Each structure stands twice: as structure tokens, then as C-alpha cells.
């Protein structure tokens, strides 16, 4: 029997042409040291939208406002975990962004610095749409 697929969420925040990214800690179980979009796992019994709001509060210290679904993809983390990631454009939020779990979070202008090709493409598409 195949391994269970973990439901996950990813948040895309764009401000002034830059995308918020996180540099994962070197001791993370999955994808250590990579620069990726912030996100996390959906808890049992939790809706995808509620998970996004909780993860952004836990990881970034922000209260998420308006969100828009962008993409759902299958992904295999470096530890072998199979994930179904639901990406959302977080169109507005409240609070000051701070890193509580990643090594650091920061606004990235050079989207080529994202380590995952699909996340790069999503971020590039959204940031160009937001610039219009």
C-alpha cells in the first residue's frame, strides 16, 4: 500500500514586487536550508483555509485577511514525505511579519533565489499580475 499523502498549505505574500520567502532551518526534517514559500501541514479535521490562517499566524505572526486559491500540486519533500500543497495568494494581512519557525523570513525580489521551480513559477506569475 502506498504512503499517505500529507495535505499542506503554502502562502504567497507579495508587496512592492517582492515575495515573502522563508529560509528553512538547517536542522529541519524536510527540505533543510532551502528557500521556499512559507506554509505547513493541515491538521486532522481542519479545513485547508483554516490551516493556512493558522500556519501564517504560527510561522509569521500575521492575521490573514483575503485569500485566493492559486494552485494545488503534488510534491515530495527531501525526507520522502509526499505532500499535496494548496497554494493561496494572501491578498491582505494584519500584523508585523516575523520569523517564528524558519531560520529567517524576508522579502525576495530575485525570484530565481527560490529553490523550488514550481514555487518560482507561481511567485513570478503572481508578482507580475500584482504589478499591473
CB 90 within 8 A of CB 11: yes
pLDDT recorded at residue 129: 82
**DSSP H helical ranges for the chain:** 48-60, 117-131
The percentage of residues in the chain with a pLDDT greater than 90, rounded to a whole number, is 89
Mean pLDDT, the chain, whole residue set: 94
pLDDT recorded at residue 88: 98
Predicted model pTM: 0.93
- pLDDT tens string 45-100: 999 999 999 999 999 999 999 999 999 999 999 999 999 999 999 999 999 999 99
Residue of 82, 106, 75 whose CA lies nearest to 114: 106
> CB neighbours of 44 closer than 8 A, spacing ≥ 6?
none
Domains of the chain: 6-131 (3.90.79.10)
Amino acid at each position: 500500500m502506498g504512503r499517505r499523502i500529507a495535505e499542506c498549505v503554502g502562502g504567497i505574500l507579495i508587496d512592492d514586487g517582492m515575495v515573502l520567502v522563508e529560509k528553512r532551518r538547517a536542522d529541519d526534517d524536510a527540505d533543510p536550508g532551502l528557500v521556499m514559500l512559507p506554509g505547513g501541514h493541515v491538521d486532522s479535521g481542519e479545513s485547508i483555509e483554516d490551516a493556512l490562517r493558522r500556519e501564517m499566524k504560527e510561522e509569521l505572526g500575521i492575521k490573514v485577511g483575503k485569500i485566493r486559491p492559486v494552485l494545488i500540486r503534488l510534491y515530495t519533500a527531501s525526507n520522502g514525505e509526499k505532500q499535496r500543497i494548496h497554494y493561496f495568494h494572501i491578498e491582505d494581512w494584519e500584523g508585523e511579519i516575523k520569523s517564528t519557525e524558519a531560520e529567517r523570513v524576508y522579502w525576495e525580489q530575485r525570484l530565481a533565489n527560490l529553490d523550488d521551480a514550481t514555487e518560482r513559477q507561481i511567485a513570478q506569475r503572481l508578482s507580475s499580475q500584482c504589478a499591473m
